[in-house]
């Protein structure tokens, strides 16, 4: 608890910098006051995804797009959506274009990442974030946030891949689910739940597929007696 308190104080000190937009201070207060005893159905989430020029932000790869969808009352809320492309300010590798089809012409004269980050976190309003294999997205968000504002992500994050492993263990207690498996493919989970993915490797399309998977997972967890946020965090939170 002491370490957590010290980290929180250090983060709050960084937020006092005049270079940090107000939205991040407001988001931190909402994250800090999150009641984990609440029922999952009473929590609002944002399911998100990103696309980037590559896999390693520390080597110069950058965000190209961010998408988010509201998730309220256990359902995807398409009326609450966010999707923006980002000016990369660097060359885009051909192998990256092949994956997500974001060509230099599509990304010309767009807002810088700092502007898009502010708008994205205004959209999130401190809500819990949900993604698939979110370590990738969190690394890129943290790298961009630190570069632009000197801070890192405050929002708590759930990973549907981690949740998938937890659910499999519950469904088959005698089996060590996906033991040693680093990756739980998004396509595989979508197929399991009969979810079509026409826009694969598009941030909005992947966020929508992840949101539909998350909806099915919550339903399965409810059948296993998991109904409160604190238990959901125990199964799928990214530390």
Q: What is the mean pLDDT of residues 160-189?
A: 79
- Please say if the pLDDT value at position 76 is more than 90: yes
Domain spans, the chain: 13-238
Quote the tokens at residue 213. Answer: 């998977």
User: Which top CATH class is 13-238?
Assistant: alpha beta
| Residue 106 vs residue 157, higher pLDDT | 157
Q: Residue 30 corresponds to which tokens in the numbers above?
A: 């909402």
Q: How far apart are CA 160 and CA 237, in angstroms?
A: 9
Q: How many whole angstroms separate alpha carbon 195 and alpha carbon 176?
A: 26
pLDDT value at residue 88: 95
**Mean pLDDT calculated for residue range 162-182:** 73
pLDDT at 2 over 50: no
- Kindly tell me if the per-residue pLDDT of 82 is higher than 50: yes
Query: Are the CB atoms for 48 and 117 separated by under 8 Å?
Result: no
Percent of the chain with pLDDT over 90: 78
How do residues 94-107 score in pLDDT, each as one tens digit? Answer: 888 888 889 888 89
Q: How many other C-beta atoms can be found within 10 angstroms of the C-beta atom of residue 213?
A: 23
Round to whole Å and give the CA distance between 13 and 5: 12
Per mean pLDDT, which range of 67-71, 141-145, 179-183 is the poorest?
179-183
pTM of the model: 0.93
Q: Which long-range contacts (CB under 8 A, 24 or more apart) does 147-150 make?
A: 148/113, 148/114, 148/117, 149/17, 149/19, 149/20, 149/21, 149/24, 149/114, 149/117, 150/14, 150/17, 150/19, 150/20
Residue 173 has pLDDT above 80, yes or no: no
User: Per-residue pLDDT averaged across 135-146, rounded?
Assistant: 97
Least Cα distance to 206 among 223, 192, 178, 187 occurs for: 187
């Amino acid at each position: 608890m002491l370490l957590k308190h010290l980290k929180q104080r250090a983060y709050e000190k960084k937020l006092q910098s005049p270079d940090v937009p107000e939205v991040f201070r407001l988001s931190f207060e909402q994250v800090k006051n999150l009641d984990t005893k609440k029922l999952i159905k009473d929590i609002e989430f944002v399911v998100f995804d990103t696309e980037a020029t590559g896999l390693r932000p520390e080597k110069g790869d950058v965000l190209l797009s961010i998408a988010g969808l509201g998730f309220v009352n256990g359902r995807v809320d398409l009326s609450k959506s966010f999707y923006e492309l980002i000016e990369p300010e660097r060359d885009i590798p051909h192998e990256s274009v092949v994956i997500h089809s974001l060509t230099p012409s599509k990304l010309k004269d767009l807002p810088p990442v700092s502007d898009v980050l502010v708008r994205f976190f205004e959209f999130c309003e401190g809500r819990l974030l949900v993604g698939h294999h979110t370590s990738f997205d969190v690394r890129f968000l943290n790298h961009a946030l630190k570069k632009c504002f000197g801070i890192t992500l405050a929002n708590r994050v759930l990973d549907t891949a981690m949740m998938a492993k937890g659910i499999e263990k519950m469904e088959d207690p005698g089996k060590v689910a996906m033991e040693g498996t680093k990756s739980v493919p998004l396509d595989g989970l979508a197929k399991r739940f009969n979810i079509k993915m026409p826009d694969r490797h598009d941030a909005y399309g992947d966020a929508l597929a992840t949101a539909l998977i998350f909806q099915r997972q919550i339903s399965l967890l409810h059948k296993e007696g998991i109904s409160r946020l604190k238990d959901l965090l125990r199964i799928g939170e990214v530390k």
